[in-house]
Amino acid sequence: MRFAFAPYLLHFKEPGGTSRGVMTEKPTFLVKVYDEHDPSHFGIGEAAVFPGLSPEADGNYVWKLTEVLANIAIGKATDLTRHSSIQFGLEQALLDYANDCEGIYYPGPFTSGEESIEINGLVWMGDFDKMIERIEEKIAAGFKCIKLKIGAIDWQKELEMITFIRSRFSPEQLMIRVDANGGFSMDNALPRLKQLADLGVHSIEQPIPAGNPELMAFLCQVSPLPIALDEELIGKGTTEEKQQMLDVIKPQYIILKPALCGGFSGGEEWIELAVERGIGWWVTSALESNVGLNAIAQWTAAIRAKGPQGLGTGGVFTDNFITPITLEGDKLKYNPAVKFDYSQFGDLKWHM
């Protein structure tokens, strides 16, 4: 068995705004595993590193990929406890290889086209008029749940926007989730959470910055609005770290991003620990290319995730890969009639 990796740069069709800033491009790495006697037959995956968010995204990242390459060649294990995205990519490549290199990671009703995944419609930050336009596009497309990135423009404008949506659609008609990406402070968090709760918002992701467990625990205890942890999960690589975080903060929900929470195996451990504690969960993608998104969608279906999931569609990038994943209304589907084309990875600069 051999391992290889190749860098790839994704470009946004429109700048993507969050409270952390505006993104115009997103680096990632494609990885593959193959038999050295037949390198044309390989399992593909994506090590979806996220600079500015992943602790592993530093000057040593390529060296860690090189270590994996060397260790697999000699049959030695690599500690990926602190390298979530590489764990994520390697799991994909191995699963694909084990399933005959056809882009199938978790065979089942989803990959046979019998089942689909309900997703939320993500609305990126922008000016007031632009966000209203994007919201109306999502609703017209049939989404029953929308997720709004908030915390970057004027708060009163954001509140006005949510009030406008609620004047047209009740909570029974449209679920609204919001993601502050840590954009609130302890000075303004509670009154804002109360205002959002009064508008029938379903939940808020990461109201204050990660790394403040006592303050987050306090918010989760007193907030009138359910709180979902997102960035707070990043970097928790051991079972003990995960248990401690859940036991200290006691959130209402956790958000699972496989590229950031230990791959599929790490995500499944998070789910087990959350269920033991009565904590809800759903799956979200993290701006992967369609390679990673294809794998996440299959995993999400395989673990029988309930309710709207936060999976992307790959449509935000100009230079994405082609996979059998399609979007119909608010349903993500796998088209078994579409063959996964491995030739699209042939021109990448592979390190082997």
What does pLDDT average to over the chain?
A: 94
Query: Which residues face 103 on adjacent strands?
Result: none
CATH level 2 (architecture), domain 117-334? Alpha-Beta Barrel (3.20)
Amino acid of residue 322: I
Helices 263-276, 239-249: crossing angle, 10 deg rounding: 40
Q: What is the mean pLDDT of residues 137-144?
A: 91
Query: What is the pTM assigned to this prediction?
Result: 0.95
Q: Please name the residue that has the structure tokens 């115009």.
A: 24
Q: What is 2-104's CATH superfamily?
A: Enolase-like, N-terminal domain (3.30.390.10)
Q: What is the pLDDT of residues 154-177, one digit of tens each?
A: 899 899 989 989 998 899 999 999
**The CA-based dihedral angle spanning residues 154, 17, 294, 35, taken in that order and rounded to the nearest 10 degrees:** -140
- pLDDT the model gives residue 343: 96
**With contact defined as beta carbons under 8 Å apart, do 50 and 257 qualify?**
no
Given 26, 236, 257, 333, the catalytic residue: 257
The residue ranking higher by pLDDT, 94 or 149, is 94
Share of residues in the chain with pLDDT > 90 (%):
83
Strand bridging mode 121-123 / 253-256: unpaired
Q: Residue 15 pLDDT more than 80?
A: no
Given 32, 149, 236, 242, the catalytic residue: 149
- pLDDT the model gives residue 17: 61
Q: Where are the domains of the chain?
A: 2-104, 117-334
- pLDDT the model gives residue 245: 97
- pLDDT the model gives residue 20: 61
**With contact defined as beta carbons under 8 Å apart, do 311 and 338 qualify?**
no
Q: What is the pLDDT of residues 236-293, one digit of tens each?
A: 999 999 999 999 999 999 999 999 999 999 999 999 999 999 999 999 999 999 999 9
Q: What is the pLDDT of residues 192-201, one digit of tens each?
A: 999 999 999 9
Active site residue 194: no
Q: What is the mean pLDDT of residues 118-143?
A: 87
List the Cα angle 113/274/289 in 5-degree steps: 45
Q: What is the pLDDT of residues 201-223, one digit of tens each?
A: 999 999 999 999 999 999 999 99
Query: What tokens does 65 get?
Result: 């990929």
Q: What is the pLDDT of residues 20-60, one digit of tens each?
A: 667 889 999 999 999 999 999 999 999 999 998 889 999 89
Active site residue 257: yes
